[in-house]
Structure 1
Amino acid sequence: MQKYLTLTFGTIALISCLSACNSADPATETDASSPVTPVQVTKLRDSSLSEFVELSAVSAYLEKSFVKANINGYVERTSAKTGQQVGSGTLLFTLITKEARSIGNTVNKLDPGFKFSGVSNIRSGQAGTIVQVNHQNGDYVQDGEALATISNRNSLVFLLDLPYELNQIISQNKTIDVLLPDGTKLGGLVSGTMPSVDSLAQTQRYIIKVSPGKDIPAGLIAKVRLTKLSHAEAQVLPKSAVLSNETEDEFWVMKMINDSTAVKIKVKKGIESNSLIEVLEPRFAKTDRIIKTGNYGIADTAKVKIQK
């Protein structure tokens, strides 16, 4: 009888144990089938955002003056050198007529009071840089012949070849920063444009006037940044918070609807900077939480865990 009771109780205990094992917690099974993704969240904020286009501009001196002979004669003395910086009124050439050169001393010997010299001093008409010297000592020149060429220091400009499809943005870029290769930044002003378009490149040339305080060689290529679009109070998010498909024609964010669930919200993207993206539509509340890390690849209504 005792063996029978022992066997009965043992059987009941075994059945209870098996039953307990088969009735696992449904919540545990649900958690196992729905993994929780750790994420970090951010909130939208308003910021000034602009979109730029960067182009090249080439330095040039628009005005050149020619130092010309005012007599027929010989170059007796010259101080002009190519690349020399000269001021207005600087003595560059001394000319002497061929008559003075041949008989001038004889006349002075006959009558010292006559003071016949036949010498003419040629000076620069404006400040600038001598870019070309045409004659040296001993050369015979005629009246009106160019002796040297001076580029006007005050006529420094940068020439910008702007694609014609962007010509509508020049009206909002009257003042422009010109960045030189050495890092120097010059303030520029759009002073005019050429009334023609390059037939091959379809670009129109604009003239950017800059301060002549710095000696800049002609032909220097600088960078010019034009504002293409600007929004003063843009609704922005970090770049990592906005996701897109492979063709980048559809964009969305993952928004928290509670402390553990994120849903997919399609958005319309606006201006994009190095670290921020403008969200044009929809308008979010300042308290809305948007996932910025851990959002890649998660599905709509995904289970997530917010990390600090």
Structure 2
Amino acid sequence: MKYQIVLLSLIVSLSGCGQRNASNGNIQEEKPGTAVTLTHVAFGKIEKEIILSATTVYQNKSVVGSPIPAFITEVLIQPGSRVKAGDILYRIESKEQHALGNGNHAVIPIKAERDGIVLDVQQQSGSYVTEGTVLCSVAEVESLVFEINVPYEQQRYAYSGSKCMLELPDGTRLAATVHAPLATMNTVSQSERVIARAKAPFLPEGMNLKAIFAENNASSKGMILSKSAVQSDETLTEHWVMKLADDSTAVRVPVEIGNSNVSEIEIKSTTLSPQDLIILTGGYGLEEGAKVVVTQEKAAL
């Protein structure tokens, strides 16, 4: 009888463990889906972009130097100051006057020769300078140009009269026109310098930026998607998107891509339609048949 009671207790205990395990299994199966946002394909075309490097240059600059050996008594400018012809930039006194040590010594004004903007200030008040020492340099604002480095094999894009977009480091874009190539070529990179002009705010000389040319043979109108929706393997040879098969299931759809720009990419495949719900964000790393939760649906591009 005692053995029967022990056996019965053991069976009840094992049964309880099985129920708990089954319950735990059910909990594990009920994992929440991955949060995603959705988009649709749109119709349009993207021009292929050729990106070259460019630099800001002021073609007309005047260097202001000291006419005599002197001490600088006052500096009236700073980098970025706008000046007009005749404005006083510096005041200096000769070393002979300075040696007298009285308060009535003659001061010599150094004036701007033309309108412009001060690029740099190389000497400060109290400094002693010799004759010809550079005090500052002034550039004509209207003489700002953009020197584009054009590899020889890409000269067909940057010819006189061609258009491009200049992208500044902060992302601002300026419409520019190519004017003429310079008669020099970099012997190492075999690139030619080409001058472009654009309506621009004051920019410092020597700023590096991008010159973006659109290739003329743009593809015909087709489907385009946000780049965020397109995934690829490590070698960039295979591309795919994740779309919804139903309200909560994601499936992988291989696609063939075409031209692209900063934010969009062409889809050449015929496996997608405007009605498909494409995962825009949250789709990275999802497996075939993964469960998802839609948090927001975004309009087509």
TM-score norm. by structure 1 comes to 0.51
Would the alpha carbon gap of residues 137 and 129 (structure 1) be closer, same or farther in structure 2, given more than 3 Å must change? same
Measure the CA separation in 2 of the matches of 1:105 and 1:182.
52
**Partner deviation per Cα, 1:66-111 (whole Å, 9 max, x = no partner):** 1123345432322344x242312432211223454566979x8xxx
Q: Which residue of the partner structure matches residue 199 of structure 1?
A: 187
Measure the CA separation in 1 of the matches of 2:58 and 2:110.
23
Query: Which amino acid is 2:82 matched to?
Result: V
Would the alpha carbon gap of residues 294 and 148 (structure 1) be closer, same or farther in structure 2, given more than 3 Å must change? closer
Tell me if the contact between 1:172 and 1:227 (Cα under 8 Å) persists in the aligned partners. no
Query: Which amino acid is 1:95 matched to?
Result: I
Tell me if the contact between 2:45 and 2:222 (Cα under 8 Å) persists in the aligned partners. no
Q: Which residue of the partner structure matches residue 55 of structure 2?
A: 58
Measure the CA separation in 1 of the matches of 2:60 and 2:97.
36
Measure the CA separation in 2 of the matches of 1:172 and 1:69.
41
Q: Which residue of the partner structure matches residue 127 of structure 1?
A: 116
Measure the CA separation in 2 of the matches of 1:221 and 1:130.
16
SS of 1:165's partner is: helix
Query: Which amino acid is 1:203 matched to?
Result: S
List alignment gaps of at least 5 residues for structure 2: 1-42, 226-236, 238-257, 274-301
Q: How does 1:23-34 map to 2 (within 5 A)?
A: none
Matched, 1:95 2:92: yes
Measure the CA separation in 2 of the matches of 1:105 and 1:136.
18
Give the Å deviation of 1:167: 0.6
Measure the CA separation in 2 of the matches of 1:105 and 1:238.
82
Measure the CA separation in 2 of the matches of 1:230 and 1:87.
47
Number of aligned positions between the proteins: 195
Q: Tell me the percent identity.
A: 21
Tell me if the contact between 1:54 and 1:223 (Cα under 8 Å) persists in the aligned partners. yes
SS of 2:158's partner is: helix
Q: Who wins on radius of gyration, i.e. which is larger?
A: 1
SS of 1:188's partner is: strand
- Pick aligned residue for 2:266 from 257, 272, 275: 275
- Pick aligned residue for 1:225 from 212, 226, 230: 212
List alignment gaps of at least 5 residues for structure 1: 1-44, 109-116, 241-247, 249-270, 278-290, 296-308
Q: Which residue of the partner structure matches residue 150 of structure 1?
A: 138
Tell me if the contact between 1:236 and 1:276 (Cα under 8 Å) persists in the aligned partners. no
Tell me if the contact between 2:57 and 2:205 (Cα under 8 Å) persists in the aligned partners. yes
Matched, 1:209 2:205: no
Give the Å deviation of 1:51: 3.1
Q: Which residue of the partner structure matches residue 163 of structure 2?
A: 175
Give RMSD over aligned pairs.
3.8
Measure the CA separation in 2 of the matches of 1:276 and 1:171.
31
Would the alpha carbon gap of residues 191 and 237 (structure 1) be closer, same or farther in structure 2, given more than 3 Å must change? closer
SS of 2:217's partner is: strand
Give the Å deviation of 1:122: 0.9
Measure the CA separation in 2 of the matches of 1:168 and 1:294.
36
Give the Å deviation of 1:121: 0.9
Tell me if the contact between 2:45 and 2:221 (Cα under 8 Å) persists in the aligned partners. no
